[in-house]
A and B are shown apart, each in its own frame.
Chain A
Amino acid sequence: MITLTINSKKHQIDVDSNMPLLWAIRDFAELTGTKYGCGTGVCGSCTVLIDGDPIRSCLTPVSEVEGKSILTIEGVENENKVLQEVWEELNVPQCGYCQSGQIISALALLNKNTNPTDKDIDAAMSGNICRCGTYKRIRSAIHKTAELNNAKTEIE
């Protein structure tokens, strides 16, 4: 039995310790927002945050993340609701499938860098493939979220 802390909630899961986190999240915790894309860590669809760092859950065994804080797309609204609102506002998604991973990667970037440049965005987001090709809007959405969050911070 393994205990995973996903979006601040504890899940007791009876799986092999070498099962990739992705399948524990999807098949056992039944949080389906995190997606399978390649199984080899090259597409980014399965990205989640572990203690704030983006990782590929399709390659990370559950044994490595026990006791750590796991954040999936379902937990983003408590972290950076503005990010999701901007994503909607700019109509970023097309099919939407890769967008959970895109948003998680964007969240990780914005948590560390409140005013990312295009280069910073390239570096943080180039691990996430979007077959529909929404990159232009992803870039705009990250810039706009940063702007809104910074304006909010100034007011506060």
Chain B
Amino acid sequence: MNPIQKITRRGFIRSVGLASGGLIIACNVPSSTEKSPMKRAFNGKTFEPNLFIQLKDNGDLILIASRSEMGQGIRTALTSVIADEMDADWNLVSVEQAIGHPKYGNQNTDGSRSVRTLYETMRKMGATARAMLITAAANKWNVDQSTLITENHYVIDTTNNKKLFYGDLLHEAAEIAIPENPILKDRKDFKYIGKGLKSIDGAGFASGKPKYGMDIKIPEMKYVAITRCPVTFGTVKSFDKTKTMAINGVVDVIEIPRIAKPFGVLGGVVVIANNTWAAFKGKEALEIVWDNGNNKGYNSDAYAKMITDNVHKKGKEIRNDGNVHKAFKNAAHIVESTYNLPHLVHAPMEVPNATAIIKDGKCEVWAPTQDPQTARKEIADYLEIDEENVIVNITFLGGGFGRKSKPDFMVEAVAVAKAINAPVQVIWTREDDIQHSYYHAVSAQYMKASLDDNGNVTGWLHRVAYPSITSTFAPDTGYAAGFEFGMGLTNIPYQIDNVRCENGKALAHVRIGWFRSVINIIQSFSVNIFVDELAAKAGKDSLQFRLDLIGKDHIVESDSGYHFDNAKLKNVLKTAAKNADYGKKLPEGHGMGIAIHYSFLTYVASIVEVSVIDGKLKIHKISSVIDCGTAVNTDTIKSQMEGAAIFGMSLAYYGKITAKEGAIEQSNYHDYQMLRIHQTPDINVEIISSHEKPTGVGEPGVPPIAPAIINAIYNATGKRYYSLPLSDHGLV
């Protein structure tokens, strides 16, 4: 019997991961008109053992990347795992970007979880193909497959050293049933995993060839810029387009209404033009009268005062262990501090943009999106068509950092394409990007702790107030959500008997969203500085105090399958101390600062050495250590940690978005500054080698940076800062 017949139409590989809602990868699920899954996967020239692999008869191997590439090296990481298990020759590999479709499982490239949730699945994809190629060779040679091995794109018979090239096995392989449980490699045999393979897109990036969203051009496409109300959710009262229409290249000006959905359209006045510059010029020439709406009273100074007041009084209980009040009453020392951080914006180098065409009841979109499936659903909902009639093409992303998880700009392009019945490319100006984002939350925090006579921490109270990300999705209650508290508030790694966490009220007046490492930035800031303050009060060294506070080795079990192991946290801290030569004698005006943080299931410690001379801060060295389980691509992890250090420095130095009468005051890189090369310190990254499951990489490096800088400044100068950015303190 032909093995193909044994495979039912539902005979796909099923793999359940741990992503939100689980992950199902279905392979070779044929359409209803096709009877045999294998025939569909083989056309005589290309063999597709599953959705992620296409092997050509010349040996070329095309591997599919289902997650979006935004600089985190995911196209290389995921495909190298397939190639490794397949024993493929990396020189024959090229990577193709998947479209947005549920058949690829969850594609939301967010939360530092692509490798974490797809590692085992990708291994299985590669191992499946390898197993089929071995069986194919056994059939072709008519030998038992137990003596066959694979190496670098060949099946080799170990009894006689005969070789068969993968590309010459397509016909036979296509006849093989998909093995249910292919054998995975022993990790000592890994050829690409853990070896620091360089990016498969590196040569492209150095030549300007990769296509980002804005680089897409489709026939008859109009270039579109939109002016949105300066105040969030304000609307157009009236507009005068006369001056805009006089600009050469402007075709029309229309209005699009707000679509009141989380990823809907803000609405505004739309300039349709024959080139980008005409669209931008046309936008500047518009005269619009706005109804500023409900958020026009949003002023950052008053708001910061209000949320600070809210953390200075009792809030909603989030965690309560023991009795902090009793601990405070019996304390030898009490330490209290209040921390304030402003809104931040992602400002990826590539602004939001999307290209869309609607034709014959179908819609096709090209965009730099982190979440193509949500985009597809939102677009289908908006057009009231079936999702199968929406194609979402994922371009390269010129940075994402969470901004491009929200497909609002894609829905905008579709709305305009529909309104003018022509293909369009909507391009945000940098000013649009800074002023109409989904912002990282502004925050106030209050902390109070008690110490006994020996300097041991006996009580810990932490109150936070920040507008919640949930405000974007559900009616705003003014209170944050469990997932936000779990980013460094309720899950502090310290063993303290009496702990209380409270949440103060903070209503949102702008759209709030994810930003690289999210609320971890806020809660890591306060906790790491506060622990330093406690160490100072106790008269103890900050490193030893932290190690003592983390306490004896213990493991916190979790349903997720990933346990928190405090020994790993102590280990990254000790390693960072060693790398930074912590404790060495420093020149006058220099200081070192420590911070640790556990986020996205990954352990990170950073030690920063600074100097403050004549009131000006200089960062000399950052030593970061990361334990992210199995290190799939060591060079990418290093590069992500280097980037995280710069990202953390940028927000510490300059990050500040403020609103005045509801409108964002900053507009471009001159007043929302980024760190530059001359400010870049020596950055040392060490990866703790581990055989545990891989955990997050893209985000966990960010949260320790800013508090480590603050602690270093204290050690250099004796002055403690409680807010950011440092530019407000005249330090940079």
Contact = CB atoms under 8 A, between A and B. Distances in A.
Contact of B350 (A35, A83, A128, A138): A35
A134 B683 CA distance: 11
Contact of B208 (A20, A100, A134, A138): A100
A39 B249 CA distance: 18
A154 interface: no
Contacts of B249: 16
Looking at chain B's contact residues, the main secondary structure is loop
Contacts of A139: 677, 680
Interface string B234-277: 00000000000000110000000000000000000000000111
A27 B206 contact: no
12 contacts: A36-B214, A36-B427, A38-B669, A39-B430, A72-B208, A88-B199, A88-B206, A89-B198, A93-B201, A123-B678, A125-B678, A131-B347
A9 interface: no
Contacts of B400: 95
A138 B677 CA distance: 9
A35 to B, nearest CB: 7
Contacts of A33: 207-209
Interface string A68-100: 000011101100000111011101111111111
A84 B202 CA distance: 9
A130 to B, nearest CB: 7
Given A42-B668, A43-B349, A27 B642 contact: no
A10 interface: no
B73 A94 contact: yes
B313 interface: no
Given A27-B223, A77-B207, A36 B276 contact: yes
B672 to A, nearest CB: 10
A126 B668 CA distance: 17
B350 A42 contact: no
A40 B398 contact: no
B500 to A, nearest CB: 37
B639 A84 contact: no
Nearest to B674: A129
- Interface size class of chain B, counting residues whose CB lies under 8 Å from the partner chain: 35 or more
A122 B642 CA distance: 18
Given A32-B215, A84-B203, A95 B676 contact: no
Contacts of B458: none
Interface in A93-141: 93-100, 103, 121-123, 125-139
B430 A93 contact: no
B476 interface: no
Contact of A126 (B71, B643, B677): B677
Contacts of A121: 677
A133 B398 contact: no
Given A36-B351, A37-B430, A72-B208, A96 B71 contact: yes
Contact of A95 (B198, B275, B397, B680): B397
Give the most central of B71, B73, B429: most A CB within 10 Å: B71
Give the most central of A28, A97, A139: most B CB within 10 Å: A97
Given A92-B205, A95-B70, 7 more contacts: A19-B277, A32-B217, A33-B208, A88-B198, A95-B350, A128-B676, A133-B643
A132 B71 contact: yes
Contact of B430 (A38, A83, A100, A132): A38
B134 to A, nearest CB: 33
Interface of A: 15-16, 19-20, 23, 26-28, 30-40, 42-43, 45, 72-74, 76-77, 83-85, 87-89, 91-100, 103, 121-123, 125-139
Contacts of B350: 35, 37, 95, 97
Give the most central of B351, B429, B645, B676: most A CB within 10 Å: B676
A134 B636 CA distance: 12
B674 A38 contact: no
B532 to A, nearest CB: 25
Nearest to A89: B198
A42 B578 CA distance: 39
A48 to B, nearest CB: 11
Contacts of B203: 84, 88
A100 B214 CA distance: 15
Nearest to A42: B669
Contacts of B680: 133, 135-136, 139
Nearest to A83: B206
A44 B313 CA distance: 47
Interface in B349-365: 349-351
Contact of B207 (A26, A76, A94, A133): A76
Contacts of B280: 39
B332 to A, nearest CB: 43
Nearest to A74: B208
Contact of A94 (B71, B276, B429): B71
Give the most central of B206, B399, B682: most A CB within 10 Å: B206
